[in-house]
Structures are given as structure tokens and as C-alpha cells.
């Protein structure tokens, strides 16, 4: 079996995921996991698929032919779970230009790998401004000092609330 990571993007409309799923099924692909999102009228995401080596090229060709969808696929080696600890970092504060760059810069200073990252802004009716919220899952070495990370993140702004918890 060959492992493929498939990324998709297209103008959002009903049936995009179904078209992808039908194509994968037709080529005897086994859908392992996925993540999709709708943003600014576009639909995007990625899927990990296991497919027999003899079906790989036909699947990639069929994926490329899906109408109204930009598709890319990359063959990857089977993933190996590492023994690193995973932490979930929740951040909330007033929105400002550069906040994501500041957060990721701190994570990079600690040499941490971001496994997932999701963010959005929402209205804060009582304040008349936007609130930024982000959630990241990060891989950290064993015996990592998460208090030092929390202090560094909270130092970015006096209104930033940071919650760090172990991920199971």
C-alpha cells in the first residue's frame, strides 16, 4: 500500500467532498484521515489515503480530472508515531496585525513543531473590537517546561490569555 496526502481547493459548493470520496473509492483507496475548512467562499483541505501501488497513478490522474477542484497529491512514507509529548495551546486576546507571526515566532524560539493550528476572529460586542482565538497542538520533548512557554506567550501582550494542557 502507498500512502498519499491529497490537498484540495475550490470554490465552495455542495458535493466537493463526495466527488473526492467517490474517486478514492473507485480506485480502492482507503481514506485514513482528513481535515477540511470553508474560508472566504473557498473550500480547502487534505486527506490521507492508502492505495495499492498499481492503483496510485490511476487515482492521481482521476483526482486531477475532478471538475472545479485544484488537487495536489504527494506520496509519503508511512508515518511513524514519535515518543514526544503533545500539548494543546489555547490563546485568546485582542486582535492585532502580526499576532499569528508573534505566536509562531515564540513557538519557533522554543524549537517546537506545530502539529495543528486553527485560528479565527470574532466580534467582542462589549468592546467594539475583534477577539483573536487560536488553538494549536504542538509536539514537545519529554520534560519540556510548559510554564516557560506560557510566560513567553503571555508576554506578547498584556491582554493575551494562554492555556496549555497535555494532549492525550
Q: Which three cell numbers stand for residue 95?
A: 486582535
Q: With 90 as the cut, is the pLDDT of residue 4 above it?
A: yes
Helix (H) or strand (E) holding 163: strand 161-166
Cβ contact 70:11 at 8 Å: no
Angle value at C-alpha 18, between 15 and 23, nearest 5 degrees: 130
Q: With 90 as the cut, is the pLDDT of residue 142 above it?
A: no
The highest-level CATH class for domain 2-76 is alpha beta
Q: How many CB atoms lie within 10 A of CB 73?
A: 19
Are 2-76 and 85-166 equal in CATH topology?
yes
Question: If you average pLDDT over residues 19-34, what whole number do you get?
Answer: 95
pTM: 0.78
Q: With 70 as the cut, is the pLDDT of residue 159 above it?
A: yes
Q: Tell me what pLDDT residue 78 has.
A: 64
The highest-level CATH class for domain 85-166 is alpha beta
Dist. CA 29–CA 53, nearest whole Å: 10
Q: Which residues pair with 51 in a beta bridge?
A: 2
Dist. CA 133–CA 135, nearest whole Å: 7
Domain boundaries defined on the chain:
2-76, 85-166
Q: How many CB atoms lie within 10 A of CB 146?
A: 16
Helix (H) or strand (E) holding 167: none
Dist. CA 8–CA 112, nearest whole Å: 27
Q: With 70 as the cut, is the pLDDT of residue 82 above it?
A: no
> Cell numbers 483526482 correspond to what residue?
63
Dist. CA 114–CA 127, nearest whole Å: 31
Q: Tell me what pLDDT residue 167 has.
A: 73
Cβ contact 69:37 at 8 Å: no
In the chain, % of residues over pLDDT 90:
73
Amino acid at each position: 500500500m502507498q500512502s498519499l496526502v491529497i490537498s484540495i481547493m475550490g470554490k465552495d459548493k455542495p458535493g466537493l467532498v463526495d466527488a473526492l470520496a467517490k474517486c478514492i473509492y473507485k480506485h480502492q483507496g482507503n481514506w485514513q484521515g482528513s481535515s477540511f475548512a470553508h474560508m472566504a467562499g473557498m473550500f480547502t483541505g487534505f486527506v490521507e489515503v492508502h492505495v495499492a501501488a498499481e492503483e496510485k497513478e490511476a487515482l492521481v490522474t482521476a483526482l486531477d480530472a475532478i471538475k472545479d477542484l485544484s488537487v495536489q497529491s504527494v506520496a509519503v512514507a508511512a508515518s511513524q508515531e514519535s515518543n514526544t509529548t503533545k500539548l494543546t495551546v489555547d490563546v485568546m486576546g485582542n486582535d492585532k496585525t502580526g499576532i499569528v507571526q508573534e505566536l509562531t515566532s515564540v513557538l519557533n524560539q522554543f524549537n517546537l513543531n506545530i502539529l495543528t493550528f486553527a485560528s479565527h476572529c470574532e466580534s467582542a460586542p462589549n468592546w467594539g473590537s475583534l477577539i483573536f482565538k487560536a488553538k494549536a497542538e504542538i509536539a514537545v520533548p519529554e520534560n519540556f517546561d510548559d510554564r516557560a512557554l506560557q510566560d513567553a506567550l503571555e508576554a506578547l501582550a498584556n491582554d493575551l490569555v494562554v492555556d496549555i494542557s497535555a494532549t492525550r
